[in-house]
Amino acid sequence: MLYDLPAPAKLNLFLHVVGRRADGYHLLQTVFRLIDLADRIDIDLRTDGKIVRETDMVGVPHDQDLVVRVARALQAHTGITQGAQINVQKNIPAGGGLGGGSSDAATVLLALNRLWNTRLNRETLMRLGLALGADVPVFIAGQNAFAQGIGEQLTPLLLPQRAYLLVQPAQSVPTLAVFGDPDLTRDTDPVKMTDFSGIKLFDEFYGGIDQKSGSSQSFGRNDLQPVVLKRYPVVQQTFSWLKQADLDVRMTGSGACLFAGFANVQQATAAHQKLLAKTRTDFSSAAVAGVFNPIQSMSVCEGLSEHPLRHWVDS
């Protein structure tokens, strides 16, 4: 049995769509940043070979859940006859662009590789994960990374410590709808670099930290963001409200979550407290009758240097 296993979320510090393959998959360039917001997973062995997800997931049928599919993929690849009972405690918002489903799948794959003693190496696990989702490999690789291709070509990055204010709008965004939108920019010029690693280079490339506000100034953009802001009014309202509060916010992945980077937790927490006070002023039903609060939740997260389970598998 393995209990309380972390499945951390990710941020896309930027996300450029640089082309499209003949099979319809989009070609991307992005930086994946792991953060300490995480789902928690418990796994018990079964002797009957069945893969059972204990947790009900709204809108995710049992057999379509990535954690079930990835466990069955590992069984098929290795011929293992054991099964697993999987319980997922969700803390990462669904439909938020934070990679929660992919991270859950990666943690289950890493855990079952150990629990079933299948002893596959990291490269093999990443291939199994990629067949189920383009974001799964980065969680198995276990490092912050510059990604290309459909997100599977990973170059590890040493990123400076940062804290993030994470804002979840009261609206989810379906990934397929965003990538299929005719207004999506698909021809951003690729980033050219010979070395995209190291704290000093990263700080120079990203513009570092604004000394007055403590917020980080990011390179590039998220090409999916204009489509989401145009099509999803609650996300647009949240984004505009945060900009009015002088925050340099950006959407992660295909949305809907928005984030702002800070030099440290103290500065991110101070910004969080100011926004909480502002929500009470701007959206309190007692103060402003009939005004809709577009924000589901806000939290402060820290960037991780690596996945907590990274060393559970041989390179």
Q: What is the CA angle 267-270-273, rounded to 5?
A: 150
For the chain, give the number of residues: 315
- Supply 202's token pair: 């990263």
Tell me 62's DSSP state: G
33: phi then psi, degrees, rounded to nearest 5:
-120, 120
Q: One of 4, 10, 200, 203 is an active-site residue; which one?
A: 10
What's phi and psi for 270, nearest 5 deg?
A: -60, -40
Nearest residue to 46 (alpha-carbon basis) of 112, 118, 120, 121: 112
Note every long-range contact of 232-241, with CB atoms under 8 Å and residues 24 or more positions apart, other chains counting: 232/169, 232/171, 232/173, 232/256, 233/171, 234/169, 234/170, 234/171, 234/294, 235/169, 235/171, 235/173, 235/294, 237/169, 237/292, 237/294, 238/167, 238/169, 238/294, 238/295, 241/282, 241/294, 241/295
| Rounded Cα–Cα distance for residues 302 and 304 (Å) | 6
Give yes or no: 248 in active site: no
Sign of CA dihedral 135, 140, 145, 150: negative
* Amino acid found at 26: H
| Choice among 65, 135, 183, 195 that is catalytic | 135
278 annotated active-site:
no
State the Cα–Cα distance between residues 12 and 15, nearest whole angstrom. Answer: 6
Any idea which residues carry the catalytic annotation?
Answer: 10, 135
